[in-house]
Amino acid sequence: MDRWRGLAGPAADALCEKLVAAWNEPQRVYHDLSHLVWLLDEAERKCAVIQDAVFVGYAIWFHDAVYQPGRSDNEDLSAAWARSALIEQPRLAERVARVIEMTKSHADASVDGDEALFLDMAVLGARREVYRAYASAVRREFGAFPDPVFAAGRGRFLEGQLSRERLFHSEVYQTECGAAARANMVWELEELRGERFDTC
């Protein structure tokens, strides 16, 4: 893919192919190549404030490289893959792996700079129709879970996010997307509580 950043040398193409194959796995509905491309586009939109595009590019490509809906170790396994793949660049490998591990709980991370920008690159503050498509894809991705089980888990996530004073780490995202993200999540939570699963 022409959006690949940062890799060099004879192993670059092979690694890219492996990552594309991983992002194309059939269990993915939201966390698929379209999500990856959206994030890469978002990084391009924020290129003026990104200091290290190589780091951000690797973080995007590897952050959900391993993904099984409902598993609690996706981030750990994705970080491990990054460490292994970038073993010849140990400082970069550790930085990428560490920020991927932070995606387990965005709210708990204490970061700034490019790490903050990467963690803030989410669809939460997008236009309502984009957010609605995201919510619908997440529900389909977790299709193996009955509606009440999904609603309980998703509801806890949304309530946890909405309890935070700030939704984003960086000023640029907080200013641009904070209000929209809060409104989107309030809407989704109301849909879940109303058992309107066909709209989210």
User: Cα–chain-centroid distance for residue 179?
Assistant: 19
Pairwise CA distance, residues 190 & 154, whole Å: 12
pLDDT at residue 50 tops 90: yes
Contact (Cβ atoms closer than 8 angstroms) between residue 101 and residue 38: no
> How high does pLDDT run on average in the chain?
90
Contact (Cβ atoms closer than 8 angstroms) between residue 162 and residue 182: yes
Residue, of 128 and 198, whose pLDDT is higher: 128
Is the backbone of residue 96 left (phi > 0), alpha (psi -120 to 50) or beta? alpha
Is the model's pTM score more than 0.85?
yes
Confidence bin at 12 (pLDDT 50/70/90): confident
Contact (Cβ atoms closer than 8 angstroms) between residue 31 and residue 141: yes
pLDDT at residue 151 tops 70: yes
Question: What share of the chain has pLDDT > 70, as a percent?
Answer: 91
